[in-house]
Amino acid sequence: MARPAPARYAIGMNVMPSSSLAEFTDFTGCTVVITGASGVVGAGIAERFAEAGARVVIHYRSGRARAEALQRKIEDNGGQAVTISADVGRKQEVQQMFADIATDQPVDVLINNAGHYPLSSIVDMTTAEWDAVMCANMRSTFLCTQSVIAYMKAARHKSIVNISSIESQHVMPMHSHYTAAKAGVNMFTRSAASELGRYGIRCNAVLPGLIWRQGIEAEWPEGVAGWRKSAPLERLGRAEDVANACLFLSSTAAAWITGAELRVDGGVLSSKAF
């Protein structure tokens, strides 16, 4: 008697059905929450998921005008978007935010993108500066992840992507608080992947390098020149580079990827010149 063909993607007693290529980037009917979406990277992520058919939730704390402009841009292009404001460093506000978002459908994807990126030396740094960076980058990631779990169990994609940084793996001057926070985000990502897998929730991190924004060449010409010289791909990153990584990690193409750290840096950490 011939042996039956093995089930595809079988793990123990659970079987994950295979997806067609068309389904890999189809987020139609899904809700995707992006924190800090009024900034350059967050806006790029929001636009990409909207293009993939998702209902995008644009979170902001203080950038209301930019968030609302992004919502209009997405809607003008035929997408779905709403804006919501909250301080993601405050537990009560985070809990209320997700309760408001998930009134009629689950949250499929959470992109923890909110963050704070100041410059300060260890010698001169105040405890308030240290705490502000830890709150914006680490505490917010923890609070949003903890709060979204209950609203994600019935979702289709069940993906959390934390925006870290290559600085979590490479020391930069004046950024001890930021590098420490992002290294913590990496380890939290691994811990969340380990604990939340039982619910089918995947958790991964994206580590961007230097991302282009309007005016950066004029503000930091030596830094931009040095980056381009060091990067094998000889350019700065773009918001869509980070967005594409988030889309992939949240798609069914990455159904067996969790606890991963994906560098999106043009290869700069592979360069001896960096």
The reply to whether 117 belongs to the active site is: no
DSSP state of 32: E
Top-confidence residue, 13 or 132: 132
Token pair of 254, please?
Answer: 């990455």
pTM: 0.92
| Mean pLDDT along residues 37-42 | 96
Q: Which of 9, 117, 178, 199 is catalytic?
A: 178
132-165 pLDDT per residue, tens: 999 999 999 999 999 999 999 889 899 999 999 9
> What is the model's pLDDT at position 12?
42
- Count Cβ neighbours within 10 Å for each residue of 43-72 and write b for 16 or more, e otherwise: bbbbbbbbbbbbbbbbbbbebeebbeebbe
- Give the span between the Cα atoms of 175 and 122, in whole angstroms: 8
The average confidence (pLDDT) of the chain is 92
199-243 pLDDT per residue, tens: 999 999 999 999 999 999 999 999 999 999 999 999 999 999 999
**Tokens 């990409």 sit at which residue?**
48
Instruction: Determine what percent of the chain is predicted with pLDDT higher than 70.
Output: 92
Q: Is the pLDDT of residue 13 over 50?
A: no
